[in-house]
Structure 1
Amino acid sequence: MGCPQVCSGATLQCSFGVAPTVLNVLPVNRTLTGGMPAANIMDHIPLVNIPTFGMCQSLANPTVAAATAAALGALTPMPCIPATATPWIPGGAPTVLLGSMPALDSNSTLMCTWGGVIKIQMPGQVQMQIP
């Protein structure tokens, strides 16, 4: 059984974020999976595809570093604004193309400029094996 295809509505979590968020996939590739727009590795645009994770706890984030310094070294989370400048890293062999780019599967990861690793917790659809 293969890895599930990721679609709009997938649940994401950042290693430095305090709350999960939901992937937003625009229907530009005109392909549905599980009744929702299917994602490819280019669906990484901050605040378009990747909403905020609530608060950021990464000291590499300048706003967190400044707030922490102002609090005399006590970690002070600040509002998350994802900084995802590069595409998703495919989790397996990218054998399925969607809009001429590899389709996003549930093993893919996305790096944030501030050091966070964004992973897919739930792909937005599931595959069932029928006995």
Structure 2
Amino acid sequence: MGILVTMGTTIQCSFGAAPGTLNVLPTTGVLAGAPAATVMDHAPMVNVMPFGTCTCMGNPVVAAATAAALGALTPMPCVPMTVAPWVPGSPTVLIGNMPALQNSSKLMCAWGGVISIVAPAQFTTMVP
């Protein structure tokens, strides 16, 4: 059984230099101390903010900077490219007709990183 994810949860990208915070807009009206997240809370620069600098060569900005530095990996500012929902969501708990987000869910960045949940903002509400 997983822990329900809410606004303020700490998230981290596998290619990011710093952790970030998940922002959840209170559109569903479901609270678990803070607005509860769904798998659809994946919008870049709305729900998922930058993770400092990116070191993934799949990111075109990093690839261009690395090429300009004659092959020396050059980290560049992170701009998440999260186009698909979090997977997996809770198969049995729906929030606004969308699966609830749990702490074992992952989010894929189109540049190659995997965003995971480091620390949920609350630890009392569980979802199967």
Is the TM-score greater than 0.5? Answer: yes
Please state how far the C-alpha of 1:127 moved relative to its aligned partner. 2.9
Matched position secondary structure for 2:70 = coil
What is the deviation of 1:38? 0.2
What secondary structure is seen at the aligned counterpart in 2 of 1:12?
Answer: strand
Structure 2 counterpart of 1:8: 7
- TM-score of the two chains, using structure 2 as the length reference: 0.95
Q: Determine the C-alpha separation between the residues in 2 that align with 1:94 and 1:25.
A: 20
The CA deviation at 1:90 is: 1.3
Report % sequence identity. Answer: 60
After superposition, what is the alpha-carbon deviation per residue over 1:50-75, rounded to whole angstroms, capped at 9, x for unaligned? 00001010000000000000001100
Q: How many angstroms does 1:4 deviate by?
A: 0.7
The letter for the 1-side match of 2:81 is A
Which residues of structure 1 form unaligned runs of 5+?
none
Q: After the TM superposition, which segments of 4 or more aligned residues of structure 1 sit over 6 Å from their partners?
A: none
Q: RMSD over aligned Cα, in angstroms?
A: 1.2
What is aligned with 1:117? 114
Deviations 1:74-101 (A, max 9, x none): 000000000000000016x511001101
- Structure 2 letter corresponding to 1:71: A
Partner of 1:70: 68
TM superposition score normalised by structure 1? 0.92
